[in-house]
Amino acid sequence: MANVGDVAKYILERGGGMTTMKLQKLCYYSQAWSLVWDEKPLFPEEIQAWANGPVCPELYHQHTGKFRVDADEIEGDSGKLSKDEKETVDAVLRFYGDMGAWELSSLTHKEDPWRAARGDLPQGAWCDRPITDAAMSEYYSGLTD
């Protein structure tokens, strides 16, 4: 199985350099849609419901302190993704790739997986609660009906 760094590297190779916030959200949506379309996660790392939307802490540690990131700054091997996994990420990039970081963050704030993980926390409050694969799969599969 690929890891989040492998997925992030592929996203950056396909989409070019971008803000770290946008990269985090594209990894989140890639994971969510893989759970729906491929019925399996793209990567095993946990995604958490941070104040500005979903974040994978393991990826965050790779880009801490940076606003923008390029493919050569991420530890990963895009070659570890299967053809089907690459097709899933490509579909996510076609749909979400032209959106800005804050637009993607705002979108995640309207969706159940992030909202449910945060519960009744005040807006902007620190949070490390996980967004589960089950929550993502249930919510996003409902969008395809």
Dihedral sign, Cα of residue 120, residue 124, residue 127, residue 129 = positive
CB atoms inside a 10 Å sphere around CB 14 = 15
> What is the C-alpha to C-alpha distance for residues 14 and 128, in angstroms, rounded to an integer?
29
Task: Please identify which residue in the block is written with the tokens 């419901």.
Answer: 49
pLDDT at position 145:
62
Domain boundaries, the chain: 4-135
pLDDT along the chain (145 residues), means of 10: 97 97 98 97 98 97 96 97 98 98 97 97 95 97 84
Under DSSP, is residue 13 helix (H, G, I), strand (E, B) or coil? helix
Residue 119 pLDDT: 96
**pLDDT at residue 85 in the model:** 97
Task: Give the pLDDT score at 144.
Answer: 80
